[in-house]
Amino acid sequence: MRAFVTTFDALVALSFLLVISILVSTQSFQLNYARGVYIYQLTHDAISVMQKTGRLDDAIDGNSSAVRNILESTPEAVCMQILIYDNSGTSVASLSKFNCGETVSQLQIVSMPFTAHGNRYIAKAQSWYRKGYS
């Protein structure tokens, strides 16, 4: 009888261990950021990449394809617009991701000063969730 109780106790403990292992292994280990924080970080990263790789300089010169490549590579749920102003506040370039309508929710704005061709500019990136994803 003592062997039966010990075996039964071990089986119950293994069952609990198995259930807990299954629950842990089925959980997603992705970081759950607030949606606003995620889109802000995405916007900041995108504008930083454009600035550090010289793509903003290209946009000032009229070549917007490099910036558009980054805009179009963002997740489908995210819309983004890049505005570039010179030091007097005049708009030099304005580029948006294709098929993005009005701002729906979680508007995030990131501004970053940069220098191109010896002149100071400000790049302003706005991003939001596309309608139906908010």
CB-based contact 42:74 (threshold 8 Å): yes
What predicted TM-score, i.e. pTM, was given to this entire model?
0.70
pLDDT tens figures, 10-46: 776 677 666 666 656 666 544 445 778 888 999 999 9
Mean pLDDT score, 108-133: 90
39 or 131, which is more confident?
39
β-partners of residue 112 are 123
Mean pLDDT score, 80-92: 94
Q: 35-129: which CATH topology?
A: Beta-Lactamase (3.30.450)
Q: How far apart are CA 3 and CA 25, in angstroms?
A: 32
CB-based contacts of 59, cutoff 8 Å, min separation 6: 50, 66, 67, 82, 84, 92, 93, 95
pLDDT tens figures, 43-84: 999 999 999 999 999 999 999 899 999 999 999 888 999 999
What pLDDT score does 26 carry? 62
Would you kindly state where each structural domain of the chain is located, as residue ranges?
A: 35-129
